[in-house]
Structure 1
Amino acid sequence: MLDQTLDARAARLNDRYRHHAATEVLRRALRDPDLGSTTLVSSFGAESVVLLHMVSVVAPGTPVLFIDTMMLFQETLDYQLDVTQKLGLTDVRVIRATEREVALNDPDGTLHQFNTDACCDFRKTVPLERELSKFDAWITGRKRFQGGERQQLEFFESEPPSRLRINPLAHWRPQDVQDYMAENNLPRHPLVAKGYASIGCAPCTSPIKPGEDPRAGRWRGSQKTECGIHFIGGRMVRAGAKA
């Protein structure tokens, strides 16, 4: 009998797809019975359109989870609608904290000013986990060049206790991302032209200066680098600009 632990499943999938390119990894993975039900989580941020386009080509009915923190830039909300329509994505699910969660945690909308971790937790991490619990695997845009523990990133990885992650762009370089967007004439997030390289909530995101790390504009002036979404088993899996 095959070892069915998460790590063993991830290793088996990595061996199976080791020599495939990103689009083929995605195409085949979405049909692989070893993965089960799969969703794409997208921020509709600066580089999100790459994976969204790939999904639209190989399986436009794939569920796409978009977290609306209710503190996003209006440009992001407009971009989400525009990209969804242009790419023909048919199952984009907008997820949010419940009214009760907002009333309990942040009734006056100022939590981000004194506890960013708590704000991210109830606005992003909790709603996402609620939706992800319905799936066996999810697709991310994480890449090796982003540094930290991602330098050894594989196409598939385990997420205890019961999910797998799919990282089709794991081996891409920064220029690969830009080339793909240009070659496919994909719409850019309007804030990129204004100096925003990594785009999150409006109160906690600022443009970057030339030469700065792309994530330097997130929670500027603090040691925070993660919203909590990219933690596995309680461990941060991406080291950002301030790590």
Structure 2
Amino acid sequence: MNIQTSSKFDGPGLDHLAPIGRETVQDRIYRQLRDALIQGRFDAGEIFLAGDVAQRMSVSSMPVREALARLVSERALEAMANRRVRVPLLTLERARDIAQARTLIEAELAARALANLTHADIERLEVLTAEYEDTSKAQDVATLNHAFHFKLYEAAGSPVFMPIVESLWMQAGPYVRAAAKLHSPLTDTAATLHHRGILAAIKAGDREQVSAELTADISQSFAILERADPDFWVAENGAAS
């Protein structure tokens, strides 16, 4: 029996597709909130009301509610009563979960990236590290740290892992912020120790060492939280709620 196939996508399923439009207001709101979460700009327990966010961003409430709902579905925020949304409260158990998940996935991505990095990619990682060492502004440091890691991970070429990593970074943001209150690892050159280690391992072609340095880099903030006094957790969550 001969089975004929067509190279054209002409099935009835196409009837359900629509033209792709430009980036929506909701997309832009989502991206700003996502980036702020990733960079640790919000405290645990911080409350969001759609109307307040809309006024701050000079937009209507509807796209704000949609963006907040999207972040809730990604576990970066949590829904509360009266249409309020908040940054989740801190727990040591959740901190450990996030740290382990980030370590497992990001160390694998870094190892995969090794074979794909170009000379230009490595130069860019060097520049980002140097800029990180030269700044003392926490917001700039957070931006540069994110840029370094994601430049590395993108070279792995994994469309499956990357959204997972973005979600984990959003969830980790308040924990990194809390760790910075106990210590200032993001404002001294020692903070780039493992970035330099990652670069050295990349140049040596050492896959295992790339993963080891990446794991050590992720672990810095979470190690600070592990050493925190129990009263810190109560104060941190109590002050934000």
TM-score normalised by the shorter chain: which range applies?
under 0.3
Q: Which has the higher helix share?
A: 2
TM-score w.r.t. structure 2 length?
0.26
Q: Which has the higher strand share?
A: 1
For the pair shown, the structure with the greater C-alpha radius of gyration is: 2
